[in-house]
Amino acid sequence: MLRLFRGNLRRYSTVTGPNIVKTVSELRKWRIEQLKQSRTVGLVPTMGALHQGHLNLVSQSLRENDVTVVSIFVNPSQFAPTEDLNTYPRTLDKDLEKLSQISNPESDLTVFLPSVQEMYPSGITLDVNEQTGAFVEVKGLSNQLEGAIRPQFFRGVATVVTKLFNVVTPERAYFGQKDAQQSVVVKRLARDLLLPTEVVVAPTAREPSGLAMSSRNDYLSPEVRQKAGIFYEALSAAHKLYKDRNAETPRNDILDAVYATLNPLTKPNDDFSIEIEYIALSDKHSLKEVDSVEPGSGAILSGAIKVPNKNGGKTRIIDNIFFD
């Protein structure tokens, strides 16, 4: 069922769309009503600036649950003081319009728009050493790969996901494969904290160039978005090498296939050049580096590169391919 927008967003009062909830107490009251009616709840956590990948997750949740909650919250605890919290894309009007377009009469859609004070009642600063209050860490999965580049990131993710799971208590929560390490961390979080939520990981949505969809792609010019598809091309070349062999493949052979595509673009070039931060081949459960991959054993080939953005700086792109 579609409902009228409520609360302080009065300019939307004449159009139909998702139910909007802005406080934890209101959402908990709403959740009690769903329990009374034995309705299953799906959760899609987002930081807004919604793209097709987010919408795919929402559509899947709408199909698989009686009601769906989409949270839109730019989580400060996963940003370092030097990162882009203040400039992170915020497009609430467009986000709500997109969500209205994919709603359907058979599934209620609620948007949770909490303030920072709602989510961090003890306050929050970006300097981890100055933070006070309760935070969540998933040991053993948070310090490698993306965690080595952004050491505060998964502490912030684990904390905000725990808060959202506690408030929404969803039967299922939906995440994208693009953030592969995040999915592994959240699955371990739910398992180890005995949270009754199934973590569902959906395939990465891609632009026509192959570039993984991301809210930060808005930082890139159309030309760079097209050329940045080379990252997925490089990962795919390594995956093809492994599939063609159909046998145990050494780690170095797989990584060499990636670098063979990317290395020529690391040279300074006024047209387009990249910076490689890391390329890794990891176990899909422990995230430990593996020496080789055998058919059926499973691994994640992942990495991060930097590409030129519209402001004359660099924007990080992450991507991965699962080896089965």
Catalytically annotated residues: 54
d(CA 98, CA 86): 23
d(CA 5, CA 176): 27
d(CA 299, CA 243): 13
The token pair at 234 is: 């490089």
The edge-to-edge listing of strands for the beta sheet with 41-46 is: 19-21, 108-112, 67-72, 41-46, 172-176, 198-202
d(CA 274, CA 315): 10
Which one-letter amino acid corresponds to residue 91?
T
**Non-local CB neighbours of 256 within 8 Å, separated by 6+ positions:** none
Nearest to 252 by CA among 288, 286, 289, 277: 289
**Non-local CB neighbours of 172 within 8 Å, separated by 6+ positions:** 40, 41, 42, 43, 61, 64, 65, 197, 198, 199, 200
